[in-house]
Amino acid sequence: MTSMGGDEEGPDQSRPSPTLRQARYSRSLERGLAILACYTPARPMLGIAELAEQLGTTRSTTHRYVSTLVSLGYLEQDASRKYRLALGAIDLGAALNATGLCKHARPELEALARRSCYSAEIAVLDGLEILLVGRVLAGTRASVEATLRLPAHCTSMGKVLLAYLPSEQQAKLLSEVQLLERGPRTITSVAALHVQLEEVRNEGFAIDDEELMEGTRAIAAPVRDESGDAIAAVGLVTYGRVIEVDELVGRFAGAVLTTAGRISRQIGWRGDGE
């Protein structure tokens, strides 16, 4: 078993670690990760000199880290002798991509629920229904990987997801949907639902005003993936706690939109800088 007393370093060891003491921090690992972070779609090729300058390390030290990253499959050298990210870089976070939306969304949902004192949820469209894939209940820190199904037409998250469908797909679903009455204000006419979906696209968020059940209101906004499509919706749901629609929108629309934007960026959306 290996027990390394100190971190191996290049000649320029004076740069302090961010917050942790040296004994609990590997500066070499920090620099290796920093090298990978230098690469962006706008700067896909970098030479040793450029990396050394950006990291504030000597060329010799940088070269050693780069050689290690090449041997590990995270970087590769091209014909110009510069380095670019290799396919191994994709593997680094692949497990996180595969763990689903709930993992990406959890911290943001927790923050939204904590600030608002209402339940924060995330759902995807699954045909005519929504599939609730994550939920943080009001007053708790517990996040639930729920798989609850609800009708899309009478939930704020469902209306967001229907609203942002391509028009052909939206028309197809609306021609198939049975608008069953679930709450005192469920929309039961396709024409009325169509008008409301237009409003959702204009406003950027959707409201459920006792459409799913009496006493429950909700507000939701779209989560976009790297393609820009709305692939999920974040909702704030009151579950019987009294609040009027105007107050719900006035107090929480901004927070819900911000939460949805943050989750979107985590899953690769590089959109309009909302």
Partner 1 sequence: MSASASASVGNRTSRSLVYGFTLLRQFTVEEPVRGIAELAEVLNVSRPTAHRYASTCLELGYLEQAPLRRYRLARCATEPGLAMLGSLALVRRARPILRELRQSTGCTVSLAILDGADVLYLQRLCGFAHGQYELERGLGTGSRRPAGSTAAGKALIAALGESEGKQPRGIDQLGLVLDDGGLRREARGLAVAIVAQGEPTSAIEITVPRAHMSAEQLTGGLGEQLRQAAGALRAGTDSDSAHACVAG
Site for partner 1 in 94-153 (CB under 8 A): 94-100, 103-104, 124-129, 131, 133, 147
Smallest separation (angstroms) from partner 1 to the CB of 26: 5
Contact with partner 1 (CB under 8 A) among 13, 15, 16, 20: 20
Contact with partner 1 (CB under 8 A) among 54, 68, 188, 196: 68
Choices 71-79, 109-117, 187-195, 246-254 (CB under 8 A): range interacting with partner 1: 71-79
The radius of gyration of the chain's CA atoms, rounded to the nearest angstrom, is 24
| Contacts by residues 191-198 (CB-CB < 8 Å, ≥ 24 positions apart) | 193/153, 193/159, 193/162, 196/159, 197/159, 197/162, 197/163, 197/170, 198/163
Partners of 46 in beta bridges: 83
Binding mask 230-259 for partner 1 (x = CB under 8 A): -x----------------------------
Which DSSP state fits 215?
T
Contact with partner 1 (CB under 8 A) among 11, 14, 18, 80: 18
Q: Is 272 a residue that touches partner 1 (CB under 8 A)? A: no
Contact with partner 1 (CB under 8 A) among 12, 33, 54, 138: 33
Q: Please tell me the distance from the alpha carbon of residue 124 to that of residue 104, in angstroms, as a whole number.
A: 14
**For residues 251 and 132, is the Cβ–Cβ distance under 8 A?**
no
C-alpha 253, offset from chain centre: 18
Contact with partner 1 (CB under 8 A) among 59, 64, 114, 185: 64
Choices 109-117, 190-198, 219-227, 249-257 (CB under 8 A): range interacting with partner 1: 219-227
Tokens 């979107």 locate to 264
Interaction with partner 1 in 156-175: which residues (CB under 8 A)? 161, 165-166, 168-169
Contact with partner 1 (CB under 8 A) among 12, 50, 58, 76: 76
**For residues 119 and 237, is the Cβ–Cβ distance under 8 A?**
yes
Phi/psi region, residue 140 (left: phi>0; alpha: psi -120 to 50; beta: rest), is: beta
Binding mask 199-218 for partner 1 (x = CB under 8 A): --------------------
Smallest separation (angstroms) from partner 1 to the CB of 259: 15
Task: Please tell me the count of residues contacting partner 1 according to CB under 8 A.
Answer: 75
Partners of 40 in beta bridges: 43
Q: For CA atoms 80, 85, 88, 90, give the dihedral sign.
A: negative
